Structure 1
Amino acid sequence: MANCLTASLLFALRKFKQDAEPLRCQASAEVGRNEQNCPRVLGIGIELQLGRRAAELEHLPRVLGQFEKFCTVGRSVAQGIPVCLWVRDAEGVQLKQSEE
């Protein structure tokens, strides 16, 4: 899922001829037990970080507004597991946060 979201973001940036590399991705999962006491993944957190400052990139709001919907794996997993996604620029400024 993390790789799919990273690839989707990279594709969207390149579509607008924006070089934000290197991209960095970190993912984590919360594992616990459901109501039947069975082990399950209860949530996933993914943080993507651009290799450049947001001010250096054109069309960034448009890219950030649409790249998630093109991630096949991410959209599929999010139907059954809550997912939190953060996107930050090279200086750590939070550009996007979404929870599904």
Structure 2
Amino acid sequence: MQVRGDSGDIVARARGAEWTSAFGDLSPALFPMLWGLIPYGDAVFNHRQVSLLLTELDRLPAACGGDWVERARELCRVVEQGSHRYLWFVGD
């Protein structure tokens, strides 16, 4: 996971989630932000989407959880504290 600015500069980074099939089982209606994650592609969240992502992280099933959740929350805060910042989940 990375926080990048408009020019692509990396502002912060952390190790992301270990992919599990449980991510694929998430309901797109209940987890529209996390449902968009795939193991082999990038996903980018802007300032407005990060607030939605945070609420999804609060109710994430245990099968999808782990240490990465707190690291994701920290990076979300980095996005919220600056302008023109984006949270990137970098795929394989």
TM-score range, shorter chain: 0.3 to 0.5
Which structure carries more relative contact order (alpha carbon 8 Å, separation 6+)? 2
Higher helix content, 1 or 2: 2
Normalization by structure 2: what TM-score? 0.34
Normalization by structure 1: what TM-score? 0.32
Higher strand content, 1 or 2: 1
